[in-house]
Amino acid sequence: MDQPKTIVLTISRLFASGGSFIGQAVAQRLGLRYTDRDILARAAQQSGLSEAELAASEERVAGFWSKAFRQYSIGVPEAPFIAPAAPPLYERDLFRLESRIIREIASSFDAVVVGRAAFHVLADHPGMISLHVHARHEWRVRRAMDLYGLETEQVATELIRRSDQERAKFIRTFTGKDWNDISTHHLCLDTSAIGLDLAADLMVTLVAARIKARDAAAGNQVGRDATSAS
C-alpha cells in the first residue's frame, strides 16, 4: 500500500446525528483543515459564478430545505458556516467541480471533509479514513429540536425523514451506491449509544495514530535515502 502524503477524514452522517460536531472536534484538536460549506465558496471562485448562484443550484432540487431552514435555522456551534448544512442535491457539473476541489484539498492538507460524498470522491486516496455517523431516531429528534429550536417532534421528525430521503438520493444519483451500505465506510459510530464526546475522542485517537504512522514512515524513508546517498 502506498504511503499517504495526507490523512483525510471523510464523514457521512445522518441529520442531527452529530457528524459535524465530531468533524469539528477532530479538526480543532489536531489542527486539521475543516471543510464543509466553504467548498461552495471555492466552487464559486473557480466557476466565475457567485455563491448565491451555486446555492440556487442546490436549492432547485432541495426546495423543501431552503424553505424549512429559513424558518427554523439558528446559529449553533456545530454549524459555523451556514446552519444547518442542507443535504446538497445539485447538478452534475457542480458535483464534478466540488469533487475536484475536494481532491485538491486532500492532495495538500491533512483535513476533515464533511458530506458531499467525499468517501466516494476520495476512494482511491491512501490516507482516507471514512466514517459514517448514525443514531437512533428518537435521539436525533431530541437533538434536532434542541439544536434548531424546533417546537414539535412532528417538525423534527419530518426534517429527519426528508433529510434521510434526499441524502440517500444524492448518494445514489452521483455515486451509484446505497447510502446505508456500511461496506462503503471504514468505521460506523452510533452517537446515541456512545455519546458525542466519546465519539469525538475515538476519532481524534484514530486520526492522530494515522498521522503519527505516516510521519514515522516518512522519517524512516528520509533516513534510508540519506544512508543510500552516503
The pTM (predicted TM-score) of the whole model is 0.81
Q: Is the pLDDT at 206 greater than 60, yes or no?
A: yes
Question: Mean of the per-residue pLDDT values for the chain?
Answer: 83
Residue whose entry in the numeric block shows the C-alpha cell 457539473: 93
Which residue type, as a one-letter code, is found at position 214? R
Q: What domain range is 161 assigned to?
A: 8-229
The C-alpha torsion from 221 through 225 and 228 to 230, rounded to 10°, is -130
C-alpha to C-alpha distance for 184 and 111, rounded to whole angstroms: 19
Which grid coordinates are listed for 76?
449553533
Residue 165 CA, chain-centre distance (Å), reads 17
The bridge status of strand 128-134 relative to strand 187-190 is parallel
Q: What are the tens digits of pLDDT across the range 91-107?
A: 688 888 899 999 999 99
Q: What are the tens digits of pLDDT across the range 107-147?
A: 999 999 999 999 999 999 999 999 999 999 999 999 999 99
- Highest mean pLDDT: which range of 23-32, 47-56, 91-100, 163-172: 23-32
Q: Are 163 and 88 in contact (CB under 8 A)?
A: no
pLDDT at 1: 54
Structural domain includes residue 218: yes
Structural domain includes residue 107: yes
Structural domain includes residue 145: yes
Structural domain includes residue 1: no
Which grid coordinates are listed for 63?
426546495
Domains of the chain: total: 1
For residue 76, report the phi and psi dihedrals to the nearest 5 degrees: -135, 155
Structural domain includes residue 47: yes
Structural domain includes residue 3: no
pLDDT at 159: 93
Q: Is the pLDDT at 204 greater than 70, yes or no?
A: yes
Structural domain includes residue 189: yes
Structural domain includes residue 119: yes
Residue of 98, 97, 101, 114 whose CA lies nearest to 32: 114
Task: CATH number of the domain at 122, please.
Answer: 3.40.50.300
